[in-house]
């Protein structure tokens, strides 16, 4: 059986270029941070201005060297009191979109709960279509959570 090739730094460069290619066609993307860590992992942050939404978003990207996936994330900020009473409903809504929710450790700020919505895309199948669907799913998930919270 043929052994699969392990992705290397050139694959991570290609993925980053594909994200920017998609961005030029669909939305206004500009890199905010772009770094290769000591172990070869790539972390990137893109500022995204969607054509149908006046607000900007930060899209967090993580690609571990040698792995066959890239992880995309969007920031979510929830009122601290609302988080205490609604976190189970938030998790239910998020899981309905097959998205992971990771709380970000707060440094003394009790009034807000900072989280990140994460979704992974497999790099062997990574294409502009997959990226577009991943980004759309993340945006839909965030909007669902925010609209649920605004109704409370």
What does the pLDDT look like over 45-69, one tens digit per residue? 888 877 667 778 888 988 888 888 8
Neighbours of 70 (CB within 10 A): 27
Measured in degrees and rounded to the nearest 5, phi and psi for residue 131 equal: -65, -45
Contact 81, 109 (CB under 8 A): no
Domains of the chain with bracketed CATH? 9-150 (3.30.1460.10)
Residue 107 confidence (pLDDT): 67
| Residue 109 CB contacts under 8 Å (≥ 6 apart), including other chains | 80
Closest CA to 100 of 147, 130, 60, 132: 60
Average pLDDT over residues 4-15: 70
More confidently predicted of 7 and 25: 7
Give the number of C-alpha atoms closer than 13 A to the C-alpha of residue 53, restricted to the C-beta side: 13
């Amino acid at each position: 059986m043929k052994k699969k090739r392990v992705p290397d730094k050139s694959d991570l460069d290609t993925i980053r270029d594909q994200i920017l290619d998609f961005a030029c066609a669909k939305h206004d993307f500009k890199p905010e941070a772009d770094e290769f860590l000591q172990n070869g992992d790539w972390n990137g942050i893109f500022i995204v201005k969607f054509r149908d939404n006046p607000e900007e978003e930060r899209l967090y990207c993580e690609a571990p060297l040698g792995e066959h996936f890239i992880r995309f994330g969007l920031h979510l900020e929830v009122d601290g009191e609302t988080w205490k009473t609604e976190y189970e409903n938030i998790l239910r809504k998020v899981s309905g979109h097959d998205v992971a929710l990771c709380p970000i450790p707060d440094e003394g700020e009790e009034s807000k709960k900072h989280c990140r919505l994460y979704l992974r895309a497999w790099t062997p199948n990574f294409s502009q279509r997959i990226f577009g669907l991943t980004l759309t799913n993340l945006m839909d998930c965030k909007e669902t959570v925010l609209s649920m919270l605004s109704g409370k």
